[in-house]
Chain A
C-alpha cells in the first residue's frame, strides 16, 4: 500500500497537498490525546499526592507544632483511617481491607459462575439458546452501577438479613446480625455485575480454540467434561486468566454499588456482615461532603486515588502480559 501512496504522491492535481498533511496531523493529534490523558492522570495523582505528604497536619495536639506531616510509612501501614476525626489518622489499610473484602467476595461469585456459564454457552448450548442468553448477559453488563447499588440495598441486604440473622444471632450473640450496610451485599452485587464480563471474555477464549482439538479429544473417547477441562481449559488458559484479572480490577474500581451497599465506616475486619468502606467509596464520601478544597482531608482523595489507580494499572498490565505469555497460538 505504501508503494501505491508513493506513486499517488508524485501525481499533481488541483487539490492542495498541504490539506492531506494537515488532516494526517489532526488525526495523529486525536490519537495522541490518549497518551495525554494517561500522562495527565499520572501527573495529577503524583503531584497532589506529593502535596498530601508534604502538607503540615492541621489538627495536632500541640498548636505550635507545624512540622508534623503524614509519613509514607504510616500511610501504608497504619491501621486506623480517620482523616476527618480528631485526632486525625491516615493509615490506608482499613480502606484496602474493605476493598479486598468486596473484591474477594465478588470473585467467589463472578469467577466460577462466569467460567461455568462460558463453558455452557460455547460447548453445550444450542445456537438458538446462545442467541438469547448472550444478549441478555450483555444487557446485564450495561446496567448502570447505581442501579446495582439500589438492588443491593433494597433487595439483597434484606434477603441476607432474613436468611442469616437467626443463625448469626444464635451463634454470636444479639449484635452479630447482618448490618444495613455490609460488605457481603456489596460483594454479591459486584459479583453479579462482573459476571457477564467474565462470561463474555471466557466464551471468546473458548471459541478461539480450533475445533480440531475438540474433535481429537472426542476421537480419543473423552467425554465432553473431559474435553472441556483437559483440552479446552488449558488451550484457552490465557484468555480465562486475563478475564479473571480484569474482573478483579473492575471489582476494585467499582464505586457506586459499593458506596451504597457497603457503607462508610473504614474498618480492619474480615467480617463480611459489617459495614466497611472501600477506597472508591471513601473518595465519593469526601467529594460529596463539605471538606474545603486544599485541606489535608481533601488531599487524601488524591492519595487514595493514586493507590487505586496503581493497583488497577498493575492488574491490567498483568492481564495483558498473561494473554501474551500463556497464549497458545493456533493458525
Chain B
C-alpha cells in the first residue's frame, strides 16, 4: 500500500515551507501526468492522421471515379451527349486521343476492344479532372450514399487486387500482400523451431559455464543491433555469398536472424515460468531430460512462447530497412510463387509511396498503412488473447 498522499495527511500548522513542498509535489504530479498523456495523445494523432488520410483518399476517388459515372449514366453515348452540352472541349480532346490510339492500332493490324476504348476514355477524364474538381461538381450531379459506398468498396477491392503502378488510381498492394505473406510464412518456419530450441537449451540443458554465459550476453547484445545491420549481413551472406539472389528465401533468412533474439528471450521467459515441481515430478517417473522437456515443460510453456512468437512476427512484418538492403524490389508486378521468386513487402510499398512527391501516392500510402496496422492489431490481439486464456487455464 502506498496511498498516503501528501494531500490526505491531517493539516497541522501549514508552515510556508511545508506549503511550498506540497505545492512542489502537486506540480510534479501534474507534470508527470501531462507527460504520460502527451504519449497517448501522440498515438491518437498518429492513428487519426492515417485513418483520415486513407479514407480521404478513398472518398476523393469516389467523387471522381469513372465507374461512379457509369453508375449514374447508363451508356457512354448518354454521357457524351451530356458532356458535350457542358464542355465541348472535353469530347474533342478525348476524340483526338482515341484517334491517335486507333491509328497506332491500325498500323499494327490490331483492333481495340470496347474495354480498351473505355480505358482510354477514362484515362483522359482522369487526367483532366484528377486534381481540381470532381465529375460531380463538373456535371452538377448528386450521387446517393449507397452509390458512393458501392464505389468505395470497389476502390478498396482494387487496392488489394492491383499491382504497383505509376498511376495512383491503378496502384495496389497485391504483390506486397503476397510477398509479406510468403516472407512471414518462411520466417516462421525457420525462426520458430530454432528460437525455441535455443531457448530450451539455455534454460534446460546449459550448465553455468563461461560459454553459455557468453551466449546469453551475446543474445542480449544482438537484440540491440540496428535492423539495417542485419540487412547488410543478409546482403553479404545470403544474397551474394550463397548466391540466392534477391528472393523471398534470402529475405526470410535475414528476417530470421533479426527476430531470433526476440523469440529466444521471450521463449526463455516462458520456460522460466514453468514451476520446477513439474520437472521434478517427471524426472521422478523416469523421464529422460528430453522427455521431460517435450512432454511437460514445452506444453506448459507453449502459450507464453506463442505470445512471444506472435510479437516477434509482428515485428518482422513491419521491418523495412533490412528488406530494402537485401534488395526486395518495389516494383513487382507478379505474385511470388515460391521461396525462390523475387518479392516485395508491404512496408517497402508504403515507403515507396511516401517517398513519391505526388500527394495522391501519400494518400495511397495511408491506405497501405491502414491495412498494415490492421494486420498488426489482429496479431497483437491474438497474442493478448492467448496470454489471457493461458492465465485462466493454469492451475497449480
A residues with CB within 8 A of B: 1, 4-5, 8, 11, 13, 15, 19-20, 23-24, 26-28, 30-35, 37-38, 40-41, 44-45, 48, 112-113, 116-117, 119-121, 123-125, 133, 135-137, 139-140, 142-151, 153-155, 192, 195-196, 199, 211, 214-215, 218, 223-226, 228-229, 246, 249-250, 252-256, 259-260, 280, 283-284, 287-288, 293, 301-302, 305, 308-309, 312-313, 315-317, 319-320
Contacts and interface: CB of A to CB of B under 8 A. Distances in A.
B369 A27 contact: no
B237 A27 contact: no
Given A38-B222, A256-B351, A226 B235 contact: no
Contact of B25 (A137, A196, A224, A287): A224
B267 to A, nearest CB: 11
Interface string B36-54: 1011101101100110010
Contacts of B31: 116
A146 B351 contact: yes
A287 B325 contact: yes
Given A140-B39, A255-B227, A317-B221, A218 B4 contact: yes
A142 B375 CA distance: 12
A133 B40 CA distance: 7
A119 B221 CA distance: 27
Given A224-B6, A260-B355, A124 B29 contact: yes
Nearest to B224: A316
B354 A309 contact: no
B39 A224 contact: no
A145 B215 contact: no
B49 A312 contact: no
Contacts of A27: 197-198, 200-201, 205
Given A218-B2, A309-B225, A313-B225, A137 B39 contact: yes
Contacts of A293: 240
B315 A320 contact: no
Interface stretch (B69-77, B104-112, B164-172, B282-290): B282-290
Contact of A316 (B221, B237, B377): B221
A144 B236 CA distance: 25
23 contacts: A5-B289, A30-B195, A30-B197, A31-B212, A33-B198, A38-B218, A40-B237, A120-B32, A142-B311, A143-B46, A144-B347, A146-B369, A151-B50, A154-B354, A192-B39, A250-B224, A253-B228, A256-B351, A260-B351, A260-B355, A312-B224, A316-B224, A319-B224
Interface string B286-317: 11111000000000000000000001001101
A139 B380 contact: yes
A228 B289 CA distance: 47
Contact of A225 (B24, B198, B373): B24
Contacts of B232: 41, 44-45, 283, 301-302, 305
Given A45-B232, A140-B43, 13 more contacts: A4-B280, A4-B283, A13-B286, A27-B198, A30-B195, A44-B232, A137-B39, A139-B380, A142-B311, A146-B320, A195-B42, A253-B226, A305-B229
Given A30-B197, A133-B36, A305-B228, A150 B350 contact: yes
B80 interface: no
A147 B372 contact: yes
Given A20-B288, A31-B206, A218-B4, A146 B350 contact: yes
B318 interface: yes
B194 A30 contact: yes
B46 to A, nearest CB: 5
B320 A226 contact: no
Contacts of A24: 201, 205, 289-290
Contacts of A192: 39, 42, 46
B249 to A, nearest CB: 17
A124 B33 contact: yes
Interface centre among A117, A144, A229 (most CB of B within 10 A): A144
Contacts of A214: 2
Interface centre among A33, A317, A319 (most CB of B within 10 A): A33
Contacts of A123: 2, 32
Interface in B88-136: none
A117 B235 contact: no
Contacts of B194: 30, 33
Given A154-B49, A246-B224, A253 B229 contact: yes
A37 B198 CA distance: 13
B365 interface: yes
Interface in B185-236: 193-195, 197-198, 200-202, 205-206, 212, 214-215, 217-222, 224-233, 235-236
B354 A313 contact: no
A320 B223 CA distance: 13
Contacts of A144: 317-320, 347, 372, 376
Interface centre among B195, B260, B288, B380 (most CB of A within 10 A): B288
B68 interface: no
Contact of B320 (A44, A116, A255, A319): A255
A203 B22 CA distance: 24
Nearest to B379: A142
B229 A41 contact: yes
Contacts of A280: 226, 228, 321
Nearest to A11: B286
B25 A223 contact: yes
